[in-house]
Structure 1
């Protein structure tokens, strides 16, 4: 979806529903934080709640150096869909530049009675951001999880994990 279309949809959602607050918003922030921290793709995960209806949740992460922006975008889209999207309407858009991926998203549902909006900025990190994890990570680790959980190292964090 292009940015202009996204902004129109976000305005429609934020005009017709109240923003999430209290426990539903805190729960959304906790799910987002938990999912990003659990991934070997990201380090220095920060998630905050704001009063700005266009970005009730804001997040900043560092992604592994050398990771393709399309791979980062795909993972962030999956996180949005599985962790934050409400059942009725959602819209999202990406801005991808060298060393940076931004996700803007909004979801709303009359049944739930609120909307959630997100601005997530992923910056390409450096090797120092991922030091101390106990092992090197190669492209296979970032792409897909091993098919058998018994094959995984006990210190390994899963790239794709459903809660």
Structure 2
């Protein structure tokens, strides 16, 4: 889904539901943090939450420089779809560039339940410099 379509869907869900409470957001935060760290792809993971309805849960991380951006995007989608999002409804969009993957998502708990939104930015970790031998 492209970002424009996603933003339209996110706006629609925001108009028909309330944002999650702090405890809801903290649960999503914890799940996202744990899954990113356990994936073996992501490092330097920082996850928190805000009052901004467009990005209630925010995350910043780096990814292994040996992993292609397309694979990073696939992993993020799988983590979100299979383990983090609510089963009732979800939508997400990705923006992939060289050394950078941006993931935006929204999910609703039930037909009368709350929603959460996520904005995650993953940047390629730098490759450590080789040490030069000193004679």
Mapping of 1:37-48 within 5 angstroms? Answer: 37-48=37-48
Q: CA RMSD in A?
A: 1.3
Alpha-carbon distance, 1:80 to partner:
0.6
Deviations along 1:96-132, one digit per CA (max 9) or x if unpaired, are 111000000001133461001000100000234xxxx
Matched, 1:50 2:50: yes
Partners of 2:122 and 2:62 lie apart in 1 by: 6
Q: In structure 2, what is the equivalent of residue 140 of structure 1? A: none
Q: CA separation in 2, counterparts of 1:4 and 1:40?
A: 31
Greater than 6 Å deviation, 4+ residue runs: none
TM-score, structure 2 length as denominator? 0.89
How high is the TM-score relative to the length of structure 1?
0.74
Matched with 1:5 is 5
Structure 1, unmatched stretches of 5+, are 129-163
Partner of 1:117: 117
Work out the number of aligned pairs and report it: 128
Q: Which has the higher strand share?
A: 2
Instruction: Verify the 8 A CA contact 1:65 1:124 in the aligned structure 2.
Output: yes
Indicate the residue corresponding to 1:14 in structure 2.
Answer: 14
Query: Displacement of 1:70 after TM fit?
Result: 0.9
Name structure 2 gaps, 5 residues minimum. Answer: 129-135
